[in-house]
Amino acid sequence: MQSNDPLHGKTLEMILTELVFHFGWDDLGSIIKINCFTSNPSINSSLKFLRKTPWARKKVEELYIKSFT
């Protein structure tokens, strides 16, 4: 059965990496206003924050879906 979930099979790290590649940290920080994207951003520090912060993760996932599906 095919999943209708556009995030099916995607890790948070894959999603974040694609968004950073597509937008860059500056634009990503403008679109989603969270410190880990604007202040000394890195994939690892952002992943740590996003895994602990459901509302921020939801925003990242929504942006991914809007941008790539």
pLDDT tens per residue, range 3-62: 788 899 999 999 999 999 999 999 999 999 999 999 999 999 999 999 999 999 999 999
pLDDT of residue 1 exceeding 90, the answer is no
Tokens coding 67: 């941008």
Could you tell me if 17 and 43 are in contact, meaning their C-beta atoms sit under 8 angstroms apart? yes
Among 45, 10, 39, 11, smallest CA distance to 25 is for 39
Helix (H) or strand (E) holding 20: helix 12-31
The domains located in the chain, with CATH, are: 22-68 (1.10.720.30)
Place of tokens 């991914």: 64
Contact 12, 50 (CB under 8 A): yes
